[in-house]
Amino acid sequence: MPSGPGPVRRIVSLVPSLTEAVAATAPGLLVGATDWCSHPADLAVARIGGTKNPDVRRIAALAPDLVLANDEENRRPDLDALRAAGLAVWVTDIRTLEQAFDSLHRLLTLGCGLPRPAWLDAAEAAWAASTPPGSVLRRAVVPVWRRPWMVLGRDTFAGDLLRRLGVQVTLHAGHPDRYPAVPLPELLASGPEVVVLPDEPYRFTAEDGPEAFPGIPAALLSGRHLTWYGPSLAQAPRVLGAQLARARPGAAPD
């Protein structure tokens, strides 16, 4: 929670999706963001390093009222160092779409003292209106890294979104790791009906990824719409749904 009784006037964000969320709601609050915070494209704030290696001294020098972080994206030693410097750190932990909506509402209204933004209402409406999948979901492997191959496992935000769009990440849902490293032969032997290849954190493309899964329909997805929780959620059902629809036998991936 924010430190002190006053309102939040200065925010440093260590999470690209939360940077976009604050910028779309009250851009004047942002004074710092990571090098990976790419939206909005014209964001003009101090850059404080990466999500995994933020410059704690630079952040402290910006004197933020609140630092935004994520349990999965940011390292605990960095967050501990920020707290030790006397900074208030708000940490999100998102595993489902409902958690994302609730967390964004609490952060922006309670944490930052802002009115609930219209884009959040639009995002909830977009997902409520999206066509629910049928009873049979396509079984998928969803790589998020290559060399070594790593895939979505259990209990992930991206997996929850895919399920709502008709894709079940069942092949490794029972793995003890949320992002297990799985050798390619094992991925192929698991018999996926589709391979889902987002463009982040690893940038899969039509030339880098589908060739490793011969004969299996491949869907190239926008990583921002699949993994970010913020304003992009309003377009995510339409964007991801269209990209998934292209993953059919014989279709050339975009």
pTM above 0.85, yes or no: yes
Task: Yes or no: say if 240 and 215 are a contact pair by the CB < 8 Å rule.
Answer: no
Q: HSE (CB half, 13 Å, CA atoms) of 7?
A: 7
pLDDT digits (tens, 9 = 90+) for 170-221: 667 677 888 999 999 999 999 999 999 999 999 999 999 999 999 999 999 9
pLDDT digits (tens, 9 = 90+) for 130-151: 987 776 788 999 999 999 999 9
**Radius of gyration of the chain from its Cα atoms, rounded to whole angstroms:** 19
- Measure the CA–CA gap between 12 and 68, rounded to whole angstroms: 6
| Amino acid in position 160 | D
Task: Pick the closest to residue 154 from 133, 186, 185, 180 (CA basis).
Answer: 180
pLDDT digits (tens, 9 = 90+) for 10-30: 999 999 999 999 999 999 999
Indicate if the alpha-carbon torsion angle 37, 147, 149, 155 is positive or negative: negative
What lies within 8 Å, CB to CB, of 178 at 6+ separation is 152, 153, 154, 155, 156
Task: Pick the closest to residue 66 from 117, 118, 100, 15 (CA basis).
Answer: 15
Backbone dihedral region for residue 155 (phi beyond 0: left; psi -120 to 50: alpha; all else: beta): left
Rounded to 10 degrees, the C-alpha dihedral 227/198/215/165 comes to: 30
Task: Pick the closest to residue 230 from 119, 93, 82 (CA basis).
Answer: 119
| Amino acid in position 37 | C
Other beta carbons within 10 Å of 104: 26
User: Where are any strands of DSSP class E within the chain?
Assistant: 11-13, 30-33, 46-47, 66-70, 89-92, 138-141, 143-145, 150-151, 167-168, 194-198, 218-221
C-beta pairs of 87-96 under 8 Å, 24+ apart in sequence: 87/3, 87/59, 87/60, 88/1, 88/2, 88/3, 90/1, 90/66, 92/15, 92/18, 92/68, 94/70, 94/157, 94/229, 95/155, 95/156, 95/157, 95/160, 96/157, 96/160
42 token code pair: 């014209």
pLDDT at 78 over 50: yes
Mean predicted lDDT score pLDDT of the chain? 92
pLDDT at 254 over 70: no
